[in-house]
Amino acid sequence: MNLRIPGPTPCPPEVLQALSGPMINHRGPEFASLLKTCTERLKPAFGTKGDILILTSSGTGALEAAVVNTLSPGDEVLGVTIGYFGDRFAEIAERYGAKVTRLVVEHGQAAEPEEIRRLLREHSNIRAVTVTHNETSTGVANDIEAIAKVVHETDALLLVDSISSLSSIPVEMDGWGLDVVLSGSQKGWMVPPGLAFVAMSDRAWKANAEANMPRYYFDLLSAKKYAERGQTPATPAISLFYGLDVAFGVIEREGWPQVYARHRDIGEYTRQGMRDLGLELFADPKHASNTVTTVRLPEGVVEAELLKTLRERYGIVVAGGQGPMTGKLLRVGHLGLVHKSDITALLDALRIELKGVASIQPSVAAH
């Protein structure tokens, strides 16, 4: 299968093989060493020298951890949402009692830093801003560096969901002054789902000392204390640590700059290929994501049928629209283990299957 959804992503064979390692004592010396090296090797992608905690959960667990470890019920939060996952981040804050003001951006567009500045001035008690770096539901990447600048004109914390950007798109947590940054193993890391990563700045730890949203499983201070002695508070997903450890080797052999460049190239290649087919890109081209490309389904094409045909006839799995965009989009993942040939295969299949659809006009280049 050519798995071209925005996660889980295909894993290199050596990563999959590593998952089969035998169980070990999670409170023994081997796991301590594994936890330490994995934590250290996450740091270049986060662009931080600070603490990163590895959780046994989906990425959504890390979103929850970011919220409940830095905030208290009643705190004001600005939830910047450019799609499904921005909504989720804001909703988690609300569930735990934050008073959330939402900046809802039209789907397909990125958040305007100027709008965030305006809202932060209007609501002067905002304690934290939640934002998605790379929104897989719309294929848009926010400019986090620019957003960080306006957020830091105030005392608000900046909590960044980098689930689908980290390890594929450069992030400079320390350089940009991000307070909480989080990701999940099943994205560019090329590891199956089940581990999540949360980095905390010094300011985030200071907030943590006063934050009193209830937490136990996702208590990051507890995770930090355990990590200092090479352990996790609860039993970790050991097999996925084995996979992560091997995946770092794959990434480091290619080199971080090369990994980022490959994602940039493939993003451009995918968008150009879609345009050449006459398909309409959904994301604002100025902010198009380099890990997921979204195109509008042409008039007369039924999403479920096209997905089924691609899967059954070509062995290609792509995603459809999510939330309000269900039935209206194709979403193509190109993060982690991906090469141009994987995208070419999809473009070729689309060219055949969409032939004769009246509403699309393939450009000359596609012939």
- Output 28 or 324, the one with its CB closest to a copy of itself: 28
What's CA 291's distance to the chain center, in Å?
9
Kindly state the smallest distance separating residue 177's Cβ from a copy of itself, in Å: 27
Nearest to 280 by CA among 289, 288, 271: 271
Q: How far is the CB of 214 from a copy of itself (least distance, A)?
A: 5
What does each C-alpha distance from 168 to 28, 69, 163 come to in angstroms? Answer: 33, 26, 10
Q: Cβ closer to a copy of itself: 154 or 293? A: 293
For 194, the 3-state DSSP assignment is coil
Q: What is the residue-wise DSSP string for 289-352?
A: -SSEEEEEPPTT--HHHHHHHHHHHH-EEEEE--GGGTTTEEEEE--SS--HHHHHHHHHHHHH
Residue 366 dihedral angles phi and psi, to the nearest 5° = -80, -10
Question: 2 or 142: whose CB is closer to a copy of itself?
Answer: 2
**Residues facing residue 320 across a β-bridge:** 330
- Cβ closest to a copy of itself, residue 15 vs residue 80: 15
Smallest gap, in angstroms, from Cβ of residue 175 to a copy of itself? 29
Nearer to a copy of itself, 188 or 192 (CB): 192
CB of 317 to a copy of itself, least distance (A): 5
Q: Could you tell me which of 105, 102, 143 has the C-alpha nearest to residue 122?
A: 102
Closest CB 352 distance from a copy of itself, rounded Å: 22
Cα–Cα distances in Å, from 41 out to 11, 88, 113, 133? 18, 28, 31, 21
User: Which C-beta is closer to a copy of itself: that of 113 or that of 336?
Assistant: 336
Q: Are 100 and 240 in contact (CB under 8 A)?
A: no
Nearest residue (CB) to a copy of itself, 214 versus 356: 214
- Least CB distance to a copy of itself at residue 52 (A): 19
Taking the complex as a whole, how short is the minimal distance between the CB of residue 49 and a copy of itself, in angstroms?
28
Tell me how far apart the alpha carbons of residues 76 and 122 are, in angstroms, rounded to a whole number. Answer: 12
User: Nearer to a copy of itself by C-beta: 152 or 311?
Assistant: 311
Q: Which residues in this chain contact a copy of itself in the complex, by CB under 8 A?
A: 1, 3, 5, 7-11, 16-17, 19-28, 56-61, 64, 91-92, 95-97, 184, 186, 192-194, 213-218, 233-240, 243, 311, 317, 319
Residue 356 sits at φ, ψ, to 5 deg, of 90, -5
From the CB of 107, what's the least distance to a copy of itself, in Å? 19
Residue labelled with tokens 């507890």: 222
Is residue 296 a contact partner of residue 282, using CB atoms and an 8 Å limit? Answer: yes
